[in-house]
């Protein structure tokens, strides 16, 4: 469920980056305040453990597929939400940089979808409430499964919303939801079972580890209201700034707004949009909505969008030739620079 840069609009990516950066800063502050030196290497090594554990797969009976540990929930159980969020964020960053698993702009979305929901929602509100202070095998099992399912359902829904708001994919909201949620219900059950089994295993072998995790409360309770308020402010600020950028591309957020409210844009953006759209229309060869208006009757001047240059075979041939030449030039320039630097 790692999202790629290719499907994201700058407004959505930027907003999620801002939200995630805020969460990382706040979690870092909390971890620093806890002054638990022991946790510094523990967090690092547990992050590496997630990578190592993902290399071990088990076969799911009667399906032919295999499952492995996702990690968010087990980290929260062992480390508490703040540290677990930082570890999850670091794991996703390394995956994005080295495995091209999710893009750099999409990193904010991915950390939020996979880290925030399991660490700050599912763990404190579901797992902790069910397991409480004296764990039993049954409580760990139910707590892990319900929390893992809830975390993954919310994360999957986040993916759907971010993709639909970006407007690059044409998957309709409803179809996407019906695709994502059931798949992640199954993944959630597997993740919950694995988490419960591993936690129970450790609890039986070395009960003091799980007990220590339960009773260490150096960081204090999570104030979920504070977190949500902070997120809302971050999203509002970055969304407001980035909507300038988005206005130049009436396909992103505005497309979603158009679908949901029937209004293409807020009135206040009208002027900015009109002027920026003018720039964009002059520069785009494949305008987004204008194509249906290439017939002569659509060339009415008083329309907000001026008529498009007619797309004919001549233009498309010119485009193809130009594109090929640009590529060739890029390669040639690269070679020339390389030759020069070799001297």
- Stretch 107-166 residues interacting with another protein (CB under 8 A): none
Both tokens assigned to 168: 């690059």
Tell me which residues in 164-223 interact with another protein (CB under 8 A). Answer: 167-172, 175, 193-194, 197-198, 201-202, 205-206, 209
Burial 252-269 (b: 16+ CB within 10 A, else e): bbbbbbeeeeeeebeeeb
The yes or no reply on residue 89 touching another protein (CB under 8 A) is yes
Selected from 182, 220, 278, 334, the binder of another protein by CB under 8 A is: 334
Q: In sequence order, which ranges of the chain are alpha helices (DSSP H)?
A: 10-34, 39-53, 72-79, 81-98, 107-111, 128-131, 137-166, 173-205, 207-215, 224-247, 253-261, 270-283, 313-342
Tell me which residues in 31-70 interact with another protein (CB under 8 A). Answer: 31-32, 35, 37-38, 40-49, 51-59, 69
Selected from 70, 80, 81, 103, the binder of another protein by CB under 8 A is: 103
Tell me which residues in 270-329 interact with another protein (CB under 8 A). Answer: 279-280, 283-288, 291-292, 311, 313-323, 325-327, 329
Selected from 1, 251, 272, 298, the binder of another protein by CB under 8 A is: 251
Selected from 73, 87, 146, 260, the binder of another protein by CB under 8 A is: 87
The yes or no reply on residue 5 touching another protein (CB under 8 A) is yes
SS3 of residue 67 by DSSP: strand
Is residue 101 within 8 Å of 91, Cβ to Cβ?
no
Selected from 301, 302, 331, 343, the binder of another protein by CB under 8 A is: 331
Tell me which residues in 7-26 interact with another protein (CB under 8 A). Answer: 7-10, 13-14, 24-25
Please state, in angstroms and as integers, the Cα–Cα distance from residue 201 to each residue in 70, 130, 175, 221, following that order. Answer: 17, 19, 40, 27
């Amino acid at each position: 469920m790692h999202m790629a840069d290719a499907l994201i609009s700058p407004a959505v990516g930027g907003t999620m980056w801002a939200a995630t950066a805020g969460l990382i800063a706040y979690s870092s502050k909390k971890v620093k305040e806890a002054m638990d030196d022991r946790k510094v290497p523990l967090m690092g090594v547990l992050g590496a453990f997630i990578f190592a554990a993902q290399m071990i797969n088990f076969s799911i009976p009667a399906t032919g597929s295999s499952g492995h540990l996702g990690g968010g929930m087990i980290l929260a159980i062992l480390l508490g939400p703040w540290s677990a969020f930082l570890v999850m964020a670091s794991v996703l960053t390394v995956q994005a940089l080295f495995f091209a698993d999710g893009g750099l702009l999409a990193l904010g979305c991915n950390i939020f979808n996979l880290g925030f929901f399991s660490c700050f929602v599912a763990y404190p509100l579901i797992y902790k409430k069910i397991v409480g202070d004296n764990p039993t095998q049954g409580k760990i099992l139910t707590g892990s499964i319900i929390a893992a399912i809830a975390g993954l359902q919310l994360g999957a829904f986040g993916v759907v919303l971010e993709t639909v708001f970006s407007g690059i994919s044409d998957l309709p909201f409803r179809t996407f939801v019906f695709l994502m949620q059931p798949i992640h219900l199954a993944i959630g059950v597997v993740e919950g079972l694995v988490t419960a089994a591993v936690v129970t295993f450790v609890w039986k072998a070395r009960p003091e580890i799980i007990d220590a995790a339960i009773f260490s409360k150096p960081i204090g309770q999570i104030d979920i209201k504070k977190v949500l308020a902070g997120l809302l402010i971050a999203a509002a600020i970055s969304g407001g700034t980035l909507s300038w950028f988005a206005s130049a591309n009436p396909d992103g957020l505005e497309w979603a707004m158009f679908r949901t409210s029937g209004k293409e844009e807020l009135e206040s953006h009208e002027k900015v949009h009109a002027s920026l759209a003018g720039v964009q229309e002059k520069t785009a060869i494949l305008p987004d909505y204008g194509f249906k208006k290439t017939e002569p009757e659509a060339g009415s001047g008083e329309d907000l969008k001026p008529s498009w240059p007619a797309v004919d075979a001549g233009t498309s041939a010119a485009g193809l030739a130009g594109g090929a030449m640009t590529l060739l030039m890029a390669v040639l320039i690269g070679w020339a620079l390389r030759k020069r630097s070799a001297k």
